[in-house]
Amino acid sequence: MAASAPTPHATGFPAEGRCGYYVAKKKRFCRMVVAAGKRFCGEHAGAAEEENARKRILCPLDPKHTVYEDQLAKHLKKCNSREKPKPDFFIQDINAGLKDETEITEQMVPISSLSEEQLEILIMKLKKASEGLNSTLKDQILSHPALHDALNDPKNGDSATKHLKQQASILGNIEKLKLLGPRRCFVEFGAGKGKLSHWVDIALKDAEKVHFILVEKVTTRFKVDGKHRRKNSVFERLQIDIQHLCLNKIPVLSREKLPVVGIGKHLCGVATDLALRCLVETCGASCEERNEEPLAKRIKNDKADKEINTLAKEGSEKNVPDKWTPVAGIVIALCCHHRCDWRHYVGKEYFRALGLGAEEFHYFQRMSSWATCGMRTTSLEASAVPRSRESESDDSEDHEDRGPRTPAAHAASLPRFLTVEEKKKIGHLCKLLIDQGRIEYLQQKGFHPMLQYYADPGVSLENVLLTALPTQSSSAEATS
C-alpha cells in the first residue's frame, strides 16, 4: 500500500496558497489565504522582508488585530469595532433608576465572613419585614395547544421537555389574562433565541397586525426569528441593553400605537427591574420629560392582617394613573434574585418604608440563593461574589439545575446554627420580599400585579411568574 502524502505540518512547509508564518504557540503555520505573489498574509506581512517598509500597528479600537500604519485613517472608518450611531430609542441609562450617592456603601464582606450574631440580626430583620406576606403562592401551572405536538415529540430529551413545559405554561397564562390577540406588540426581554415569541406567534395563528420586538444585549446564535413566515406578524430584533431602551422611541410603537405586552422567560435579577421600568415609565411617557420623582411611601400599620392579594387589590384601587397606559399586560418568569442591584431595583421605596436600605438589600439578595442551594452545585461563597450582568438571559434561555451538592460541601457552607430546611426557607423569604417590592411598584403605577407558580419545582427551581394588568382592564376572571 502506497504511503500517504506528507502533510504541510509534517514537512515543515505551509499549505499551498496559505501564509508562510509559523505560529509557535499553536505549533503550526498560519492558515490565512495570501494574496497572489505574496508569501505572508496581511497580519503577518511584517515578517517578510518585502513588507518591512510598511509598519503594522495595533488597531486603537480593538488591539486584537493590526493594521498598516499608513492605512489607519481609512481602516478606522470601516473597522467593525468602531462606535456605531445610536438609534433614537437608545437613551443612556433611561431605565437605570436614580443614583443616590448617599446610599453607596463600602465594599460588603461575603456572607460567609459575617459573624453568627450579625447573621442572626439580618435574619430577624428579614422575618420582621416579611410578616403578613403570603408565602404560599397560587399554582397556575397551565399549558397551551400550540405546544402539544412539540411536548409529545419522542425525540425530546429531559432539558428540551423542561423548556417546553415552561413555555407552554407561560403561554397558557398569557392566554388566561386575555393578552393573546390581534393588533398588539409583544416585547420579549432577554429574548435569547426568541423561542417564547416563536410559540406566541404559533398560538396566534391568523391574528392580524402582530409585531414582535426581541430585546437582547448580546449576539445570539441559533435564533429562530428567521423561521417565521406568517404574513400577519413581523419580527424585529434589537441588540441593546434594557437599561438604555426607550420603548416610546421604537418606530413601530410610535407610529402604530400598538398596545404592548411585555414577556420574558427567566429574566435574570436586575434585568427584571430594568424591564419593568422600561415598560411602565418609558412606553407611554415622553422619554425626555419623564418624571423621575421617587415613589410615595406606603407604610402598612397592620401588615399581619393583610395578604399579598389583598394588598394588590387595595393598591390597584388607590393608585389609578391619570392617563391611560399603552401597556396591555406583563408576564415575566422571574429568576436569579442574587443578581439584583440596589440602584436599579424598582422596590427601593418599599424597602425604605420597612426601615431597610441598601445594606440589607445587598445581603438579602445574596441570601436568596439559599432557596436552591441544597439542589445546586453553587456554593455559599459563590453567592457572595457579585457577577457582572453579561446578558439579560443565558444563551440556553434557562438556568439548568446543576445536580445535587455533596453532603460535605453543603455542610461546610452552612452557618452552624441553621439547618438545610431553615436555610431554604430564608432564601425563599428573601425572594418573596424582593418580589413584593416589585408588586408595590406596579401597584403604584396603576397595575394589578400577581405572583404565582407557573411550573413544578422538578421542571425549574425558578418557577415564579409575575403577571400584571392595567387596573382599569383587569377583571376577576383574569386574575382568579
How much of the chain, in percent, has pLDDT values that exceed 90?
A: 49
The tens digit of pLDDT for each residue in 52-65 reads 567 888 999 988 88
The tens digit of pLDDT for each residue in 11-21 reads 477 888 898 88
What's the mean per-residue pLDDT of the chain?
79
Asked whether the beta carbons of 429 and 130 are under 8 A apart, the reply is yes
**pLDDT value for 148:** 94
Instruction: Give the confidence band of 480 by pLDDT, cuts at 50, 70, 90.
Output: very low
Instruction: Give the confidence band of 308 by pLDDT, cuts at 50, 70, 90.
Output: very low
The tens digit of pLDDT for each residue in 312-328 reads 344 333 433 334 458 99
The tens digit of pLDDT for each residue in 122-162 reads 999 999 999 988 888 999 999 999 999 999 999 999 999 99
**pLDDT value for 134:** 84
Instruction: Give the confidence band of 399 by pLDDT, cuts at 50, 70, 90.
Output: low
Of the candidates 380, 386, 387, 398, the one whose C-alpha atom is nearest the C-alpha of residue 335 is 398
The tens digit of pLDDT for each residue in 178-197 reads 999 999 999 999 999 999 99
**pLDDT value for 115:** 87
User: What integer is the mean pLDDT of 411-427?
Assistant: 75
pTM: 0.73
User: What integer is the mean pLDDT of 371-385?
Assistant: 50
The tens digit of pLDDT for each residue in 228-262 reads 766 778 999 999 999 999 998 999 998 888 999 99
Q: How far apart are CA 183 and CA 233, in angstroms?
A: 10
Asked whether the beta carbons of 146 and 202 are under 8 A apart, the reply is yes
Q: How far apart are CA 329 and CA 283, in angstroms?
A: 12
**pLDDT value for 474:** 56
Instruction: Give the confidence band of 44 by pLDDT, cuts at 50, 70, 90.
Output: confident
Question: Does the pLDDT at position 271 exceed 50?
Answer: yes
Q: How far apart are CA 420 and CA 415, in angstroms?
A: 10
Of residues 281 and 297, the one with the higher pLDDT is: 281
Q: Does the domain made of 111-284+325-373+417-470 have the CATH classification 3.40.50.300?
A: no
User: What integer is the mean pLDDT of 266-292?
Assistant: 78
CATH 3.40.50.150 residue ranges of the chain are 111-284+325-373+417-470
**pLDDT value for 23:** 86
Question: Does the pLDDT at position 436 exceed 90?
Answer: yes
DSSP characters for 458-471? TT-S--EEEEEEET
Q: Of the spans 159-173, 205-219, 300-314, 407-421, which averages the highest pLDDT?
A: 159-173
**pLDDT value for 372:** 81
Of residues 375 and 109, the one with the higher pLDDT is: 109
**pLDDT value for 229:** 66
Q: How far apart are CA 56 and CA 90, in angstroms?
A: 36
**pLDDT value for 403:** 37
Pairing of strands 233-239, 447-453: unpaired
Q: How far apart are CA 396 and CA 394, in angstroms?
A: 5
Q: How far apart are the first and last CA of the chain?
A: 79
Question: Does the pLDDT at position 293 exceed 70?
Answer: no
**pLDDT value for 291:** 42
The tens digit of pLDDT for each residue in 53-109 reads 678 889 999 888 888 888 999 999 999 888 888 899 999 999 998 876 555 555 678
Grid cell locating 271: 434585568
**pLDDT value for 343:** 92
**pLDDT value for 48:** 54
Q: Find the range with the poorest average confidence among 35-44, 332-341, 358-367, 452-461.
A: 35-44
Q: How far apart are CA 133 and CA 121, in angstroms?
A: 20
Grid cell locating 194: 426568541
Phi, psi dihedrals of residue 470, rounded to the nearest 5°: -60, 140
Helix (H/G/I), strand (E/B), else coil: 388:
coil
Residue that is written with C-alpha cell 456554593 in the block: 379
Most distant CA pair in the chain: distance in Å?
92
User: What integer is the mean pLDDT of 446-467?
Assistant: 95
